[in-house]
Every structure is written in structure tokens, then in C-alpha cells.
């Protein structure tokens, strides 16, 4: 049950109107205006005496009248509450002082800035939606929470004073050192700890980049189809999005150069393109780097789930090939650990270190230090690497189970192929099917397979669904594919 301080009530002690009547009117109007809702608890008499500077008898008189009229109800030992069965008048009468006009879409837009209108105009997938086959969700049941809890408890049990302040906006320096070492060894990234900035996930990193590096109407290459969270960040900054086609090998660099050679930024996922799954070959990587160097453009390399590689050896990061300091590398812990951790990182070129630190200082002064300290210890002690190794084996098995289930139960509904990395598969639908309508039919069944069209800026020749398999065991995968097959055939 909710309780309130009744802070909205105003009393005029100079008025000839009795105070108990003023209090009665004030509480009644809060109920009529739906500010106090059925079941909300009224503060105890003693608290009201202190909050409103009234005598106990004044308050008792007002509450007694409200109880008599059915607005309030009391129980011994529990307190006084707004009645669940309000008088009929309460459902019809609204004091004009509390009546508010429902804002129209036009009036809302007029109250926003130009950037605010751009930000709210971009469709965005609700990340909080749950359901089977939701893309981007790891299996949190496999995370070693007991170990994590032990490390967190250690740092909270006797925190040092300097770690309870704001700290460096770029993040906890030992964690930045650990991340720098990790990406050097695992991804061939060339960096120093000073280039690492801890962020509240990839989305904050994208907004930070967009606000620092883009002016109104600057052109930005985005993969088509591609990650719509990046579309949101760039569009909100007033940028002009240039959709660049993607094939089985990733973004087609030549098309981007033809469409907008003057672009300020190219946003790409070279190691595992999202959502089509391609890996950018070395020839295209070098072409992209040459373009960025010649145009003094920036490349954002989103390496969002590079830890999950199942076949062959991945190419080194694009950043590791960059000799001109034009690549900004992005990573996140959401896919490896759990999304609500809200920690990711940027590796920025040396010339951008100071601007990014100043911008982060202005935005939110950095992420929670204790959590960063715990993550650093989690990585240094080897728990991070062990968790990745276990998850990689498990997710490879689940991808195989999904491929086999589709091949056996509905090969005529979905065309699939193995992905060498990642946490999702793409199931291409028959050419005359709408992937948006198909996804909407499955959602009431608890299935959140996202339509491919949601990630495209221009119409696609063929639709498909994204199946996020990482969070589900093989039994659930088979049962869900069977349910999908039966439902779509109806």
C-alpha cells in the first residue's frame, strides 16, 4: 500500500473557515482528483500534527467526517486508508482546480526542443519486453552470482572514502587497465588504459559520441539493416542517416563511399554484423580505414558480442589495424554478464581523451565506483574468462539445437544458416510474408522474435525473424519452435 505526507494541502490559519473543515476539504479534493487513490494510507495522526502544525482534535474531526461520508476507512492496528468503495459522487465530481486538459500530441511536440522532437520521433524497441527468443539476452542463470555477491560484499563491507565520492568521470582506473589488457589480448586492440572510458552501457556511449562529434545534418553511415539503438542516438543528434546495404560479408563500403563520401561517421559491426551476422573481410576493412583517413571521418566499431565466436578464428579488431587514430571502439558487458549491470566501455583515440572526459563530467560524472571495483576483481581473478568459456560452449550447443529444430519442424517457414558468432539466428520468411505481422502473431504466445524490418531504414526485399537462443535450454528451444510452427500454419 502507498502512503503519503499530504504535502499538497494548504491551510490558511487566518481564515474564518475552521481548520478541521479546511483539512477535510483538502483531503477530499485530493481523493476526487485521483491524487489519493483507493488503498493509499493516510499518515498517522501524530505525523499529521507535525507536518501540518495542527492540534490532534482538529485532525480527528476532519478524518471522522471523511470516514462518515465513506471517503476513508480505518482498522485498529493498521491505520486509515482511502476507501476502496468510494461514494458514487467521487467517481463523477472533479474539482475544477484539479481538472487538467489531456495534452495533445501537437502540444507535447511544441513543448520540446528540436533535439527532443528528433529523439522522441525515432521508433525504438522496448528493451524491457520479455519473451522467448528475445534477441541480445544472455542466460543469466549461468552467471556465478555467489562469486559476484561475495566480491560486492567485500567492497561494500569496508569501502574507502575516496571510492564513495564522484571519482574520475572516465572510470575506476584499475578496471580501465584490466579492460585495456583484455581487449589487447582478446581482440588485438591497440590502446593504453587512459584511452578507456567506462560507460553506462553501449547506448550511453553512442549518445556521448553523437553529441560530441556530430553537428546538425552531418551525414552518418549506418548499416541497413542495422542496430536501431544507433539510429536513435544519431537521429536525436540531428544527423542525416545514410543507409548502407549489408550482404553476407557485412557492410558494403563502396556503396557508402558512393552515397556519402563526405560522411562524418561510419557506424559498423565488423566482427559480427547485427542482425545479419556477417564478418567484414580484410579488404573492406582496409578500404574503410583508407576512406576515414582521407576524409578525416570517424569509424565507430561496435564489438558488441565478440566473445562468443564458435568457429574459426576471428579477425583482429578494426581498431587494431587503424594507424591514423580514426576508430572509436565500443564494448559492453551486457551480453557477457547481465544487462542490468549497465556497464560498457569506449576506447577512444588519444586526441579525443580529454573531450570525452569533459563531456562525461558534464553528463553524469561517471558510473558507480563500487560496481566497477567489483567487476575489476571479477576479471582479475579469472571469473570473467571462465564464465565466457562456459557460455561459449553452451551457446554453441543451443544454436545447433535451434538450427536442428527449425530444419525438422518448419523448414518451409524459415530459411536459416549457422552464424559463426553471436547470440541469435536469423530466420528468413517466405518472400510474401510480413515479418512484422508474423512477430505480432507470436507475441501473445510469449515469443519475442523481433522482425528484421524493425532494423531497416528502407524496405527490405524479404522479411525475417531474429531468434535469440542464448537464454533458453534445448528443451525450451524445441518446444517453442514447435509452437511457432503450429501457430503459423493455422
d(CA 428, CA 441) in angstroms, rounded, equals 16
Q: Which of 232, 224, 225 is nearest to 205 (CA)?
A: 232
For residue 330, what pLDDT is reported?
A: 96
What pLDDT score does 129 carry? 59
280's CB contacts (< 8 A; 6+ apart) are 249, 250, 251, 268, 270, 271, 273, 288, 315, 318
| Peptide bond just before 220 cis, omega within 30 deg | no
Residue 181 to residue 193: CA distance in whole angstroms: 8
Residue range 366-401, pLDDT digits in tens:
788 889 999 999 999 999 999 999 999 999 999 999
**In which residue ranges of the chain is pLDDT below 70?**
1-8, 87-109, 118-119, 121-129, 162, 312-314
Angle at 179 between CA 178 and CA 181, to 5 degrees: 65
Count the neighbouring beta carbons within 10 Å of the beta carbon of residue 431.
Answer: 8
Task: Return the pLDDT at 2.
Answer: 43
Domains and CATH numbers, the chain: 19-91 (1.10.10.10), 161-381 (3.40.640.10), 386-489 (3.90.1150.10)
Q: What is the DSSP string of 262-281?
A: T-SEEEE--SS-TTT-----
Which residue is listed with cell 571495483? 373
64/315 Cα distance (integer angstroms): 76
pLDDT, residue 316, reads: 83
Measured in Å, how far apart are the chain's first and last C-alpha atoms? 45
- pLDDT score recorded for residue 365: 81
Q: Across the strands, what pairs with 224?
A: 245
Q: Hey, CA dihedral for 400, 337, 427, 275, is it positive or negative?
A: negative
The reported pLDDT for the residue numbered 239 is 95
Q: Supply the Cα-derived Rg of the chain in whole angstroms.
A: 28
> DSSP E strands: which ranges in 121-224?
196-199, 219-224
**Residue 98: its pLDDT value, please?**
44
Cell numbers for 328, please give them.
Answer: 572509436
Q: Would you state the pLDDT for residue 1? A: 39
Cα–Cα dist 447/52, whole Å: 52
How does DSSP classify residue 292?
H
Q: For 205-239, write each residue's pLDDT tens digit.
A: 999 999 999 999 999 999 999 999 999 999 989 99
Tell me how long the chain is: 490
Amino acid at each position: 500500500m502507498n502512503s503519503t505526507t499530504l504535502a499538497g494541502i494548504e491551510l490558511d490559519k487566518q481564515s474564518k473557515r475552521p481548520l478541521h473543515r479546511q483539512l477535510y476539504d483538502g483531503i477530499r479534493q485530493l481523493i476526487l482528483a485521483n491524487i489519493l487513490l483507493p488503498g493509499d494510507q493516510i499518515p498517522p495522526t501524530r505525523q499529521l500534527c507535525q507536518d501540518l502544525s495542527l492540534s490532534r482534535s482538529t485532525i480527528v474531526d476532519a478524518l471522522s467526517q471523511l470516514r462518515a461520508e465513506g471517503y476513508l476507512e480505518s482498522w485498529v492496528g493498521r491505520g486509515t486508508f482511502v476507501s476502496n468503495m468510494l461514494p458514487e459522487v467521487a467517481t463523477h465530481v472533479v474539482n475544477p482546480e484539479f481538472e487538467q486538459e489531456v495534452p495533445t500530441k501537437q502540444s507535447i511536440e511544441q513543448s520540446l526542443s528540436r533535439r527532443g522532437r528528433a529523439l522522441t520521433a525515432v521508433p525504438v524497441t522496448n528493451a524491457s519486453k520479455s519473451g522467448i527468443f528475445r534477441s541480445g539476452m544472455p542466460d543469466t542463470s549461468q552467471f556465478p552470482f555467489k562469486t559476484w555477491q561475495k566480491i560486492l560484499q567485500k567492497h561494500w563491507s569496508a569501502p574507502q572514502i575516496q571510492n564513495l565520492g564522484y571519482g574520475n568521470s572516465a572510470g575506476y582506473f584499475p578496471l580501465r587497465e584490466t579492460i585495456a589488457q583484455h581487449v589487447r589480448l582478446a581482440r588485438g586492440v591497440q590502446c593504453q588504459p587512459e584511452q578507456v572510458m567506462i560507460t553506462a552501457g553501449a547506448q550511453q556511449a553512442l549518445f556521448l559520441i553523437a553529441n560530441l562529434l556530430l553537428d546538425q545534418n552531418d551525414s552518418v553511415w549506418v548499416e541497413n539493416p542495422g542496430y536501431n539503438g544507433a539510429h536513435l542516438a544519431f537521429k536525436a543528434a540531428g544527423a542525416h542517416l545514410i543507409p548502407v546495404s549489408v550482404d553476407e560479408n557485412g557492410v558494403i563500403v563502396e556503396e557508402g563511399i558512393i552515397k556519402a563520401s563526405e560522411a562524418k561517421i561510419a557506424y559498423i559491426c565488423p566482427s559480427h554484423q547485427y542482425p545479419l551476422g556477417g564478418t567484414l573481410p580484410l579488404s573492406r576493412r582496409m578500404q574503410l580505414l583508407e576512406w576515414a583517413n582521407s576524409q578525416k571521418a570517424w569509424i565507430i566499431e561496435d564489438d558488441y558480442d565478440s566473445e562468443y565466436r564458435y568457429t574459426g578464428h576471428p579477425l583482429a579488431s578494426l581498431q587494431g589495424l587503424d594507424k591514423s587514430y580514426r576508430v572509436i571502439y565500443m564494448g559492453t558487458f551486457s551480453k557477457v554478464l547481465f544487462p542490468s549491470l549497465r556497464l560498457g566501455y569506449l576506447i577512444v583515440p588519444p586526441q579525443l581523451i580529454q573531450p570525452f572526459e569533459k563531456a562525461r563530467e558534464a553528463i553524469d560524472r561517471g558510473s558507480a565506483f563500487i560496481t566497477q571495483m567489483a567487476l575489476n576483481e571479477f576479471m582479475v581473478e579469472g571469473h570473467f574468462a571462465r564464465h565466457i568459456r562456459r557460455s561459449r560452449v553452451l551457446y554453441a550447443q543451443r544454436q545447433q539445437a535451434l538450427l536442428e529444430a527449425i530444419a525438422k519442424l518448419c523448414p518451409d517457414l524459415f530459411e536459416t544458416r549457422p552464424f559463426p558468432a553471436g547470440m541469435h539466428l536469423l530466420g528468413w520468411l517466405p518472400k510474401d510474408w510480413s515479418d512484422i505481422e508474423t512477430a505480432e502473431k507470436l507475441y501473445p504466445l510469449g515469443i519475442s522474435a523481433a522482425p528484421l524490418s524493425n532494423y531497416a531504414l528502407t524496405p527490405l526485399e524479404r522479411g525475417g525473424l531474429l531468434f535469440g537462443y542464448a537464454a533458453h535450454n534445448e528443451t525450451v528451444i524445441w518446444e517453442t519452435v514447435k509452437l511457432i510452427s503450429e501457430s503459423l500454419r493455422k
